[in-house]
Amino acid sequence: MGAESKSRGCFWWLLVIAIATILVVAAAVTLVHRHKKNGGGSSKSHPKATYLGSAAYSQALVLSLTFFDIQKSGKLPASNPINWRGDSALKDGSDVGLDLSGGMYDAGDHIKFSFPMAFTSTLLSWGVLEYGAQMSAAKQLDAARDIIKWITDYLIKTHPSRNELYFQVGDPAIDHACWQRPEDMDEFRPSYILNSTLPGSEVAAEVAAAMASASLVFRDDQTYSSKLLKHARELFEFANSSRISYTSSYEVDQTYYNSTSFGDELLWAASWLYHATGEESFLSYVTGSDGELYAEWEKAPAWLSWDNKVPGVQVLLSRQQILTGQSGSGLTQTGLAKYRKTADELMCAYLPDSPTATKDRSDGGLIWVIQWNPIQHAVNAALLALIYSDYLFTSNTKLKCSGEVYSPEDLRSFAISQANYLLGKNPIGMSYLVGYGSNYPQNVHHRAASIPSDAKKYACKEGFEWLSAEGPNPHVVTGALVGGPFQNDSFVDSRNNTMQNEATTYNSAALVGLMAGLTSTNQVTLSAWK
């Protein structure tokens, strides 16, 4: 899976990973030495962003959407373009008498985690809502909508009643003891439930956010949109009433997608419900006492991720104020002003020349926060910056950072710099988007891609020979956005390098919106959602 903290099941599997990690770090140390010897090091060097052209970003958009077809679980449509993928996990949910087939695998393994899957859907919906016109011009809007619906159709099935949510299919200990194609799986795949006895606020709230945001995407289908909104309301009420982390109910998931708080997801869900319904009660929720508790107003900038939605909330709620001039009254006005101020501070942290610029960057200028899947934070930051730049452009507003004034174009330039880095404009010339350019990872940590189409069924452990096999994966994981470099911009293309060389759906979700927005040669004028 793609979370920052992982366990790989049985002892020998852990040993394999440990040895591989030592080798990766050793290789990285060597690269650090070479980098410094050649004039690199820790000196600040932020490459000037050059717009690569609409065609380049359109190509990246097409590729990034392709990855989701690779990750699909369940009965695949006849139109599925990935010839080395087939139907898988068709019996999911049978242990509880439900059909829980469908959805997506989060990364290179085969567990279905609704927490990151729902976040993936929410980010995709946000990208469509802001840059749907650009996706349409690139002939990719239908593909993006289809991917969102593939996920939300599954999420609907996981919510059979008001206070019941099946949030995971697959036992990590069983799954991580295997290396095989998803089509070959015949191991027991248990279904895990959240309910009044075993609550989980952050997962229920994130699924509510996914449903609410998707209800806006599918406004042209009133029946489906209303259905999504009904589930979103019920799930938000379930999440808000319990206020207990899902990892308290299921401690095993602390090893995988360990949530540090449920408060950010509650605000995230309420913000999307406000945009979807226009109901003031949701605005009062995020600007009142719950905002005081969880919004991190005027604190040091945080980084948007599957675990922390606060930066997304700050930008999303600033949208209303910037584009419509809505400021509310009393506590609502004060709360919205605090979200806007904190969002401004976040944008100032992104800008490399700002007096309050973050130092969390690689030597080559990539936003770099942690060594496990660092690209997640960079691509999310770029998406937020691009969206915010277009908010400011639409309202003819500038950004002030400790007395310095910056234009919307400055923020767009930052977003371009991050996008370009991902596409290969970096110190080692590596495209971290598989299939883009000529130099991209060949050994992505991805079970299905690593095993050839040899008409042989591999049992649980029989496929491990392909984990350690020499040579590139027999199948290209087209559109995968892998974890990315060390802080010194080095990267080790190894199948065992899960820290850098595993891709996730939520990485790609942010990339879709980012690349769609950049297909426009100029700033994009945005409008209020109706």
Which residues have a catalytic role annotated?
A: 445
- DSSP code, position 166: E
The encoded tokens of residue 389 equal 């730049």
**For residue 236, how far is the Cα from the chain centroid?**
21
Helix (H) or strand (E) holding 64: helix 54-71
Query: Residue 77 is encoded by which pair of tokens?
Result: 């449509």
- CA atoms of 460 and 73, how far apart (whole Å): 18
**Alpha helix ranges (H) inside 256-330:** 263-277, 280-287, 289-294, 310-324
Neighbours of 371 (CB within 10 A): 16
Which of 9, 431, 370 has the alpha carbon at shortest distance from 187? 9
As to burial, measured by CB atoms within 10 angstroms (0-12 exposed, 13-18 middle, 19+ buried), residue 438 is: exposed
How open is the CA angle 502-508-514, to the nearest 5 degrees? 140
Distance CA 10, CA 2 (A): 18
φ, ψ of residue 405 in degrees (nearest 5):
-115, 135
DSSP letter (8 states) at residue 367 = B
| 3-state class (DSSP) for residue 482 | strand
- The amino acid at residue 446 is H
Question: What Cα–Cα distance (Å) separates residue 225 from each residue in 143, 210, 220?
Answer: 18, 12, 8
Task: Measure Cα distances from 289 to 269, 332, 463 in Å.
Answer: 16, 11, 53
Placement of tokens 């940590």 in the chain: 445
Let me know: does 444 contact 477? Beta carbons within 8 Å. yes
* φ/ψ of residue 164, rounded to 5: -135, 130
Q: Which residues contact 519 (CB under 8 A, 6 or more apart)?
A: 54, 57, 58, 61, 134, 137, 138
* Number of CB atoms found within 10 A of residue 511's CB: 30
Task: Check if the beta carbon of residue 72 is closer than 8 Å to that of residue 448.
Answer: no
Nearest residue to 309 via CA among 233, 213, 398: 213
